[in-house]
Each structure stands twice: as structure tokens, then as C-alpha cells.
A = this chain, B = another copy of it.
Amino acid sequence: MAVRTHQSQRRRQVLTRERIVETAVELLDASGKDALTVRALTGRLATGSGAIYWHIGNMDELLEAAADAVVATALARPAEVAPQDEIRAVALGLFDAVAEHPWLAAQLAAQLIRNPWGPVTLRIFESVGRPVSALGVPRDDWFTTTSTLVHYVLGATAQTSQRADGFEVDRAEFLATASRAWRDLDPDDYPFMRAIADQMREHDDREQFLTGVNLVLTGIAALHIKGD
């Protein structure tokens, strides 16, 4: 024990891939994507740029690993009760993870686009697909049904990822400003946006997100679950 402690004190901390990813997440959480630079990493880790590149291939790979680490944590949960509740829990898990890590939304989108079946996407599909298959949906519809749910969840989390961090006051102000802006749009070009300006002012992102999940679940039940 004493020896172990002594050793780790002497060598301080070994530079590992994990420690780099961890530090990357810290930098991203603290100051956003632009703050994650190789130079910032070498500063925090008291090392040189070559050391970083010894452990990770490049910046994209590091961002991918950071996103995967956060998503894995967000989705690591015991199997839930009813499949529908499990789906809602997974969806909210992602929604809240993106709220806590604002950089995550852009990173999820980037990976979905660049590498549509990379580890992060796979993880999300698996987490949503498992309860979908327990829902009574015919096997042939598992892929399409799960895709629809996942795509909705990712689209929705993207748009609502920048909710005013912290103050509910800011949030209300933001909604009121947007609502007013929609009222002032050209009636010929934007009749619909003007019509929903009031709903914009009063809506709650998280609640609306769940309503959307339920809407998709209703569609799934109506289309695929017999005798419902």
C-alpha cells in the first residue's frame, strides 16, 4: 500500500488515453468545443503535443471518444420496467446529458453524419431498440421503428441543447423575445409561425420533447401493435 502510494506520487500520473479523454471532457464542459485544443491539453496535462498524439490518432478521434464516454454513462442503466417507460427513460437520459454537456449536441450530430454507424450511434440504437423489441412490434419492423425514434430524439435534443444554462429568467426572456419576433414576421411568408407565436412563449422544452416521444410511440402502437 505504502509502496503503491509512493510510486504513484513519484511518477505523479501516467499519461493514458483515458486520462486524455477525461481531461478533454473537462475542457469541453468548462468552456465548449473551441476550448479543446491540443495546446490546452498539453497545458493541463503538463506534457507535449507529441505525447497526446502517441495516445490518440487525432482531434476527431478524441472528440468521438469524449462523446462516447459521456453517452455511455448517460445510457448505463438497469433494464427498466415497462418497455414504453424504458424508451422514455433512455430518451430523457440523452436529453439531459446534452443539457449538462452543451458541446455534446454538435458532436453527436457530427458523428451521426460522418460515421452513421459509429460506436455512439450503435449504443443509442441498442438502448432504444431493446425496449422496442419488447414492445410487441413485429421483428421485421424493429429497424425502421427504432430508427424513427432515434432520429426524432437526436433532432429534438439538437434544437433544444442550448437552453439558457442556469437561469429560468433568461429562458422566459428568450422565449418572449422569440415569440415577439415571430409575431412580426411577414404574414404572407410566415402565417404558420405567427399563428404559433403564443405557444412558443409558453412551451417547455423538456415537456414538449416527451410529448413528441409519446406521439411517436402512439404511431408505433397504431401501426404495429395488434389489438390496441
Interface residue ranges, A against B (CB under 8 Å): 105-106, 109-110, 112-114, 116-117, 121-122, 125-126, 129-130, 132-133, 139-140, 142-148, 150-156, 158-162, 178, 181, 185, 189-193, 195-196, 199-200, 203, 208, 211-212, 215-223
Contact = CB atoms under 8 A, between A and B. Distances in A.
Contact of A109 (B151, B158, B219): B158
A189 B106 CA distance: 26
A134 to B, nearest CB: 10
A151 B142 contact: no
A131 to B, nearest CB: 9
A213 to B, nearest CB: 9
A106 B117 contact: no
A216 B147 CA distance: 12
A60 B113 CA distance: 19
Contact of A129 (B143, B161, B196): B196
A192 B158 contact: no
Contact of A178 (B117, B145, B153, B193): B117
A164 B196 CA distance: 39
The 3 tightest CB contacts between A and B, nearest first, are A219-B219, A151-B155, A155-B155
Given A106-B113, A129-B192, A144-B203, A215 B208 contact: no
